[in-house]
A = this chain, B = another copy of it.
Amino acid sequence: MKQEHLEQLENVIEAVKSRQIENVFFIACGGSMASLSLGDYFFTKETDVPSFVYTSNEFIHRDPKSLGQNSLVILRSHSGTTPETVKAASFARQKGALTVAISMETDSPLCQSSEYIIHYNYKDGSDAIDGETGMFYSLIFQLLNVFAPNEKFARVVEKLALLEDLYTKNREKFAEVADTFGKKNKRENIIYTMASGAYIHQAYSFTSCLLMEMLWIHSNAIHSGEYFHGPFEVTDYDVPFLLILGEGPSRPLDERALSFAKKFSEKVEVVDVETLIYEGVDEDLKEYFGPAIIGVVLRLYADALAEHTGHPLSVRRYMWKMDY
């Protein structure tokens, strides 16, 4: 990891240690919020520090009463320009909270509005450890190690050096199956996603940013547990589902949803997190690495839809093209 990145992480950890942090807020919009949600997942599971996720505007308007001097607020925006998130940073600072911005642009409004910065590299050819997942995971697992010290978390941080290699190998492994998915689904105008646990936010991200935003395909990210309490009634032989079969404690929920969906739909695609390549990752760390790797695999599925529909992922009709 780059020296500058190491120092940024160290600064945040020192700041957190020097304050009496009583709760953590993860604040962002869209895909950035989905990424941060993983932090919330592991915080609720591994520590007794209350943690919350809000889309930036909801955070400001709801004005949670527990937000204050003892709060750690982690904000994220790829460009660092998302207006709602920039406002949320100022809002949190006014309340006295410790603010940390995650972005690829350190001179962005978000980073300028926040006390601490975690920068990540983006598509500049550098190692994944310095990229968005490498940096975010480093931050989260170092924080977990502060709030609920466990040698496992230190090992996760250490093993993040494997990310680049794991990305490459998993991209290779899933290229063909993803391409077939794109071919089979190129005429679909709706594709549901499904997941639970550490993966529900991956489904959310795939639904909101890849299917709806980039491909204009209707979608909804259904929680595998919630599927049976309403949504499953839309299942039919011709209704497509992309199900993330997770690694970790909530896998049984996904298995149950999969088994049902496959009975009544002929269009169920499964991305099984257990079949990812985890080369070099200790067995007991797999549940932390699955969510770190799955994103690059899911991206292949979106790439394949783009390829087969002739609708590049870069196309927008509204975003960045007008005021809204």
Contact = CB atoms under 8 A, between A and B. Distances in A.
Interface of A: 23, 29-31, 33, 41, 44-50, 52, 55-58, 61-66, 82, 84, 148, 190, 196-197, 207-209, 212-214, 216-221, 223, 225-226, 228-236, 249-250, 252-253, 256, 260, 264, 316-319, 324
Contact of A61 (B61, B220, B250): B250
Contact of A44 (B31, B45, B65, B197): B65
Contact of A64 (B45, B197, B226): B45
Contacts of A228: 29, 324
A223 B204 CA distance: 12
When all copies of this chain in the complex are counted, the total is 2
9 contacts: A30-B229, A30-B230, A208-B230, A212-B231, A213-B233, A216-B236, A219-B220, A233-B316, A233-B319
Given A61-B197, A61-B249, A216 B229 contact: no
Contacts of A213: 229-233
B65 A46 contact: yes
A249 B54 CA distance: 15
A228 to B, nearest CB: 6
B63 A249 contact: yes
Given A29-B225, A208-B231, A256-B324, 11 more contacts: A29-B226, A29-B228, A31-B229, A33-B229, A55-B229, A61-B249, A208-B230, A216-B233, A232-B319, A232-B324, A260-B318
Nearest to A52: B44
Give the residue among A57, A84, A236 with the most B Cβ atoms within 10 A: A57
Contacts of A316: 233
